Structure 1
Amino acid sequence: MIQFLLNRELRTEQRLDPNVTVLNYLREHVGKPGTKEGCASGDCGACTVVVGELDGDSIRYRTLNSCLTFVSSLHGKQLISVEDLKHDGKLHSVQQAMVDCHGSQCGFCTPGFVMSLFALQKNSDGHDEAPHRKAKAQEALAGNLCRCTGYRPILDAAEQSCCQAKPDQFDARQAETIAQLRAIAPKDIAELNSGDKRCLVPLTVADLADLYSSHPEARLLAGGTDLALEVTQFQRALPVMIYVGNVAEMKRIERFDERLEIGAATALTDCAEALSAEYPDFGELLHRFASLQIRNQGTLGGNIGNASPIGDTPPLLIALGARIVLRKGENTRTLALEDYFLDYRVTARQEGEFIEKIIVPRASSRQAFRAYKVSKRLDDDISAVCAAFNLRIEDGVVTDARVAFGGMAAIPKRAAACEQALLGATWSQTVIERACAALAEDFTPLSDFRASKEYRLLTAQNLLRKYFLELQAPEVETRVTAYV
């Protein structure tokens, strides 16, 4: 069985279909229809809820897309929906701000906006300067769409609710909620089982390895932002899942002298904080990866494991020389990330093997790393081309070159001919043009609805030129902001 708090009510579930999403659980199982379904794919934010987790002696609140979240992932946590905000007959301050600022029109998207504002308020101290406050509000609301185009008053509501925040019932009952969460903290392997479908919830890497060896047919569930689409979009039930989000060892970020070790189940939100300290471009790109709701759920291991040719993190990690640790039972092996991808959606992972951690070299002052994402929208969009360049230039000569692209082949891939054209050469415009020509030897991209093959190749070449210009004149850098 699993246990979680529905606001303050203890819920225990055992015979529930593990394919039930939090959205459908709220609407159909507990009679809370305030949370709305807009797209069932994590794009519109109408289904936004807030999940609270213990973080030491406090509670960390994060927004999630309930349409992509399976109920099993709530084990040991607190779920807050829009119905829980009103208290003693009075609207919560974020709801009142939406009223005062006329932020609701048709109202369908409003519950999602309200929940994003609630989390924003909980994660704000009210002392930020106006530009920073505005940027945080825009980031928090970027995953919520309003078809009535009411963004200006909604941003006004964000300003009011964060600047004029008052203690609420969640603050008053925080100690009580912490005690409840500690009482239901997972202590052993949990399971949801509806008879023909099951989801197992291990607590340790050893438990996960044992379960996956016993059930190699199981689908590993971390953030679920990709896996859940099989249920919500393709109507395919998943018979066996193993949820890895409660494995604490796989959610750690450990810092060593020469490397970072990032657990595969670490949310992209947390990865951004760690990686941006080493590689600012990596952090900036993760801010454009997707909405905050998706980044709160999606994991670094998941973005690698699904082996998409347009995943944003693999090209950057490959350019940095990252490695992954794969585990099967008690055995582990370490593999260069570039060797993990074999063909379209085909990887070197063996049956019963899973990604345990990602090893990323720490930044060196001798290397120049830059990353660029080209997409049709600036925010919350899939890349047409994603490029990462990591060169070492000593005394005007390129002594090391790692260049990787996503969206240019069936897999995230290094540009071997391009690298060869750069290695040992004098850093100059002439050499860059030679390396640009070599990209045509490295890639024969496809045309699809995001971009034509000609556009992709020209864009890849232009991004290399952009990299050269930025290193020549760093004061005019416009990194990571490229879009069609």
Structure 2
Amino acid sequence: MRKSIKFVRDGKAVELTNVAPNETLLDYLRLREGSCGTKEGCGEGDCGACTVAVGSIKDGQLKYQAVNSCIQLLGMLDGKEIITVDDLSKGQNGMHPVQDAMLKHHGSQCGFCTPGIVMSLFTLYHTEKVADRNSINNQLAGNLCRCTGYRPIIDAALESCTGNAEDRFAESAATTTALLKKLDDGKDLFVGDEERFFAAPASISSLAALYETHPDAVIVAGATDVGLWITKQLRDLPKIIHLGRAKELDLIQNTSNEIIIGASATYAQASDSLSSIDPDIAEIIRRIGSTQVRASGTIGGNIANGSPIGDSPPLMIALDAKLALQKGDKTREINIEDFFVDYGKQDRTAGEFVRHVRVPKLASNQTLRSYKISKRFDQDISALLAAFRLTHENGVIKEARIAFGGMAATPKRATKTEKALVGLNLNNPEGWQQASQTLEQDFKPMSDMRASAQYRMDAAKGLVIKALHETAGTPTTSTRVIGIREAM
């Protein structure tokens, strides 16, 4: 067992033994290191002012991802490289190419958001792909700027992010890779004592044993939600167990008939596999948070959190996914819809954790449709999320699975509406209308800051009709992808 965290800063290994379980990466950078180029804006992972780049080894290569340092716990950076805006021009004649392009195109005015924007573009600069307007817009969706209108920032990105990284970080990639591999010692991490600690087990068996001993600990994967407990609710979490070093938990198995996603696999990691099921899934994932959030947030965490407005549970329920839970050396598998018992309550006993989710692929006679309704198109919490899996033959619906988030205290199936759809001819629009009215028997939605109960019900009815209409004349994949882009 190792009792210190280790990471790479400015080409050197840093080792810390005095790491509080609640200490964030942003606080470490600003308060301990004095690297104040990284700014604190919202403190909840929305504005992107605190964005830094995190380097890690993926498939044997050094890759950089943008993350929100305000909600990243410092212990989670064990075994990673941390790059901030303060580092970009060190040891160079002049500024980094991204900074230079931002200056040339007047991409900064008040400047508060600029460090985060530069770091988001730094990771895009290192993707080895020529950036276009779509990729730049996606990359910057998590960086809010109220001064520039984004046009000069996009112009700067188009000029600098050409797929050919030529900076000191690219030149030292081999050295950094070797250093990161050396830090990966395979040991369990435990910093603190039995009453207050940050732990990161290196295997599932170590995780299970530790969580059985400390069932009151908070399990953290990406901290995109737990981070807000600390920064916004000001909660003190004395015991934190991080899943990120248990390597078996981030595996993704893509077979001919299903996809198995480990509990610590991020949205960024799982996106391609899940998107292969259907283009609608690709678009829902693209709108889950920002690039920074998807680089940290996990599907397992989104499910385990049990929020009634989580975006992935309705999709998983509609696809008839199974959830594997583990306690000690015993594992059980349940239907994912049965995991959500009531508001804030899940079918998970003390010391039991989510191990993986098993997602079936679509059969040849099945169609998936999913829609997210939110006030802001990008990076906003859903007022309503609907997912439909319809099995049909010769224009007649044989089976339906419909799930909604935001309509009840938990993500929930519309079982009465499902029954109303079975036997319905897809060429019968009058039947669509009648079936959609059945939603009033399935749900009594609430009113809150995101939407009124009436709006939710009317929108849900409309989405039932939309799903049936699209299924009746299912467009090709390429047509649907083009439609998604045009809608952006």
Q: TM-score range by the shorter chain?
A: over 0.9
In structure 1, what is the equivalent of residue 358 of structure 2? 359
In structure 2, what is the equivalent of residue 69 of structure 1? 72
Percent identity for Structure 1 against Structure 2: 43
Change (3 A) 1:164 1:482: closer
Structure 1 CA distance for aligned equivalents of residues 25 and 366 of structure 2:
45
Structure 1 CA distance for aligned equivalents of residues 391 and 21 of structure 2:
49
Q: Are the aligned partners of 2:302 and 2:310 in contact in 1 as well (CA < 8 Å)?
A: yes
More displaced 10-residue stretch of structure 1: 105-114 or 388-397: 388-397
**How many correspondences in the alignment?**
478
User: What code does the residue aligned with 2:95 have?
Assistant: L
User: What code does the residue aligned with 2:124 have?
Assistant: L
User: What code does the residue aligned with 2:107 have?
Assistant: G
In structure 1, what is the equivalent of residue 125 of structure 2? 121
In structure 1, what is the equivalent of residue 13 of structure 2? 10
CA shift, 1:196, in A, is 5.4
TM-score normalised by L of structure 2? 0.95
Q: Are the aligned partners of 1:372 and 1:482 in contact in 2 as well (CA < 8 Å)?
A: no
Q: Are the aligned partners of 1:322 and 1:359 in contact in 2 as well (CA < 8 Å)?
A: yes
In structure 2, what is the equivalent of residue 108 of structure 1? 112
In structure 2, what is the equivalent of residue 25 of structure 1? 28
Deviations 1:226-265 (A, max 9, x none): 0011110011111000010111111111022321110011
TM-score normalised by L of structure 1? 0.96
User: What code does the residue aligned with 2:251 have?
Assistant: R
Pairwise CA RMSD = 1.7
In structure 2, what is the equivalent of residue 97 of structure 1? 101
In structure 2, what is the equivalent of residue 139 of structure 1? 138
Structure 2 CA distance for aligned equivalents of residues 455 and 75 of structure 1:
45
In structure 2, what is the equivalent of residue 236 of structure 1? 235
User: What code does the residue aligned with 1:28 have?
Assistant: L
Structure 2 unaligned spans of 5+: none
In structure 2, what is the equivalent of residue 463 of structure 1? 463
In structure 1, what is the equivalent of residue 61 of structure 2? 58
Q: Are the aligned partners of 2:327 and 2:353 in contact in 1 as well (CA < 8 Å)?
A: yes
In structure 1, what is the equivalent of residue 394 of structure 2? 395
In structure 2, what is the equivalent of residue 185 of structure 1? 184
In structure 1, what is the equivalent of residue 216 of structure 2? 217
Change (3 A) 1:373 1:4: same
What secondary structure, in the 3-state scheme, does the structure 2 residue paired with 1:455 have? helix
Q: Are the aligned partners of 2:260 and 2:358 in contact in 1 as well (CA < 8 Å)?
A: yes
CA shift, 1:89, in A, is 4.1
Structure 2 CA distance for aligned equivalents of residues 88 and 359 of structure 1:
48
In structure 1, what is the equivalent of residue 50 of structure 2? 47
Q: Are the aligned partners of 1:421 and 1:431 in contact in 2 as well (CA < 8 Å)?
A: no
User: What code does the residue aligned with 1:224 have?
Assistant: A
In structure 2, what is the equivalent of residue 159 of structure 1? 158
Deviations 1:67-109 (A, max 9, x none): 0100111111101111110033421100101111110111111
More displaced 10-residue stretch of structure 1: 214-223 or 431-440: 431-440
Structure 1 CA distance for aligned equivalents of residues 164 and 88 of structure 2:
14
User: What code does the residue aligned with 1:379 have?
Assistant: D
Deviations 1:378-397 (A, max 9, x none): 11111111000101111222
Q: Are the aligned partners of 2:300 and 2:354 in contact in 1 as well (CA < 8 Å)?
A: yes
In structure 1, what is the equivalent of residue 196 of structure 2? 197
What secondary structure, in the 3-state scheme, does the structure 2 residue paired with 1:278 have? coil
Deviations 1:18-76 (A, max 9, x none): 21100000000111011000000000000000000012332011000000100111111
Change (3 A) 1:149 1:325: same
More displaced 10-residue stretch of structure 1: 57-66 or 472-481: 472-481
Structure 2 CA distance for aligned equivalents of residues 148 and 194 of structure 1:
47
More displaced 10-residue stretch of structure 1: 424-433 or 452-461: 424-433
In structure 2, what is the equivalent of residue 447 of structure 1? 447
User: What code does the residue aligned with 1:342 have?
Assistant: V
Q: Are the aligned partners of 2:126 and 2:165 in contact in 1 as well (CA < 8 Å)?
A: no
User: What code does the residue aligned with 2:474 have?
Assistant: P
In structure 1, what is the equivalent of residue 330 of structure 2? 331
CA shift, 1:176, in A, is 0.9
Deviations 1:388-430 (A, max 9, x none): 0101111222111101100000000000110010113333223
Deviations 1:272-304 (A, max 9, x none): 111001121111100011110000000000100
Change (3 A) 1:322 1:436: same
Structure 2 CA distance for aligned equivalents of residues 439 and 481 of structure 1:
30
CA shift, 1:124, in A, is 3.3
Change (3 A) 1:258 1:474: closer
Deviations 1:91-143 (A, max 9, x none): 110010111111011111110000001000101333x6xxxx11001111110
Structure 1 CA distance for aligned equivalents of residues 418 and 356 of structure 2:
28
Change (3 A) 1:231 1:354: same
Q: Are the aligned partners of 1:371 and 1:480 in contact in 2 as well (CA < 8 Å)?
A: no
Change (3 A) 1:166 1:279: closer
More displaced 10-residue stretch of structure 1: 146-155 or 444-453: 146-155
User: What code does the residue aligned with 1:259 have?
Assistant: E
CA shift, 1:165, in A, is 4.7
Structure 1 CA distance for aligned equivalents of residues 121 and 249 of structure 2:
30
Structure 1 unaligned spans of 5+: none
Structure 1 CA distance for aligned equivalents of residues 165 and 68 of structure 2:
26
User: What code does the residue aligned with 1:429 have?
Assistant: P
User: What code does the residue aligned with 2:459 have?
Assistant: T
What secondary structure, in the 3-state scheme, does the structure 2 residue paired with 1:358 have? strand
User: What code does the residue aligned with 2:87 have?
Assistant: D
Residue pairs, 1:244-283, within 5 angstroms: 244-283=243-282
CA shift, 1:473, in A, is 3.1
In structure 1, what is the equivalent of residue 299 of structure 2? 300
Structure 2 CA distance for aligned equivalents of residues 482 and 299 of structure 1:
28
